[in-house]
Amino acid sequence: MANEELLEQEYFNQPIEFNDQLLKDKYFTEAIEKIKAIVSIPSFSGSATKDAPYGGAVKEVLHYALNLAKSLGFKTYCDPENKYGYVEYGQGAEIFAILGHLDVVPPGNLDEWKVPPFKPEIINNILYGRGVLDDKGPTIINLYCLKYLKDHNYQPKRRIRLIFGLTEETSWDSIKTYMAKEGTPTFGYTPDGLFPLTYAEKGIINIDINGPGYDAVKILGGNAYNVTCSTTTISDLTAENLDKFYQIALDKGYRIEKQDKEIIIHGKPAHGSKPNEGINAGLRALLVLKELGFDHPLINFVADVLQEDTVLIEHFGQYDDESGGFTFNVGIIEINEQFSRLSCNIRFPVLTKQAVILNKLQTLLAPYHLTTAIEHYDKPLYMALDSPLVTKLMTIYKTVTQDQTAKPIAIGGGTYARSMPNCVAFGAIFDDSISTEHQYNEAISLKDLWQSMLIYVRAISSLGNLDHI
């Protein structure tokens, strides 16, 4: 080996000595304050303007993150259209990407929050606020891990990019634009899933079921495909039907409000991958209307087929593999004089074909003369368990947590990992059974955030100098 090669190897393989106390006292403490600051920006999708394609608040959150990174001494880049940005450290032809996102789902009914969703607060060592878990908190933690490494003269073999995506919760236009303009990174992870590591993700279809308008009632509920419709407003009923609707819903034990000439049904939000954990206020509204004798294709389809079922085995059959089963979430329901629609989030196992699901749905809709329009499709993700990326990250996770029995998992959620090859979801949720993403009172414990920082700082250090991928 030439002397130059020996020097290069020695230069890049200098070990990093991790001072966890310093990491906690200085970097973690500051990261928490910056998480609270960035969570205070209500960065759910808004109306597009010339220089804010995803809404003003989304542009604001992008520039906050980039200015923060600049203040920490990093090189940054902002897309001229404000569709994405990134932080870069190191040199080389290869790029190791950390794919974060700064957009959030809407907060829903503000009365359901124990703290205002965009005024984050720590209560009993738990941080509450929209985005603390999904995905602003983990993204900022990764930024401060990179800051720690930079301050300790860490020299990676390749460039490390922390990419700020802006439409993960909606269209994915942001990360698609990044890939089109910048090219595909060599490998990476997204801190937007589960620990220890996610190697498989179901296919996801966001689809509108469209029908005709209706002048006998107006319905509006929900605000995202991938969140259970948790609040629905019913209006334009006759006084008699308004009273009957209210009584039927009350008798069924629904949470309901009667306000002048409208009724509001409250349900419970849940992530689109786990609709069984929610209560769908929109479907309940249509079922009450059917009971009252209302005749409309969308109402009839819900009453005959969907009900409040989220797996629909009777109609779609049994689809199940290592990534889990089939799920059907109705996120938005709208009926007015001009049109009607159900905006749905369908998730299917990695070994199932998209065409099979769509063909079955079309067959179910045909008797009601309802049509469909696909709003977004994410193909399934599968990463080989023996790949260098998976084995290295699993080793780091086991070393930090001392959990030698941990195994990679498959999920129903969809992450940025599927936006590029050689990418996995790596944290930041430790216990999916108590996860609160997309729900009221989204939260993460300071203990879990700190544990994730210990893992991420070692992961970045290791992957930055990985020999082969």
| 428 upstream amide cis, omega within 30 of 0 | yes
Mark the ranges of the chain whose per-residue pLDDT is less than 70: 1-15
Distance CA 333, CA 93 (A): 48
Of 337, 267, 347, the C-alpha closest to 311 is: 347
Give the pLDDT of residue 14.
Answer: 58
Of 34, 45, 253, 256, the C-alpha closest to 145 is: 34
- DSSP for 238-304 reads -HHHHHHHHHHHHHTT-EEEEETTEEEEE-B--BTT-GGGSB-HHHHHHHHHHHTT---HHHHHIII
Beta strands in 21-158 (DSSP E): 75-78, 85-89, 95-101, 121-123, 126-128
323 in Cβ contact with 379 (< 8 Å): no
Give the pLDDT of residue 4.
Answer: 39
Under the phi-then-psi rule, with left for phi > 0, alpha for psi from -120 to 50, and beta for the rest, what region is 260? left
Give the pLDDT of residue 187.
Answer: 97
pTM, whole model, 2 decimals?
Answer: 0.80
Distance CA 443, CA 461 (A): 28
Q: Whose structure tokens read 């993150």?
A: 65
Give the pLDDT of residue 13.
Answer: 54
Give the pLDDT of residue 300.
Answer: 98
98 in Cβ contact with 188 (< 8 Å): yes
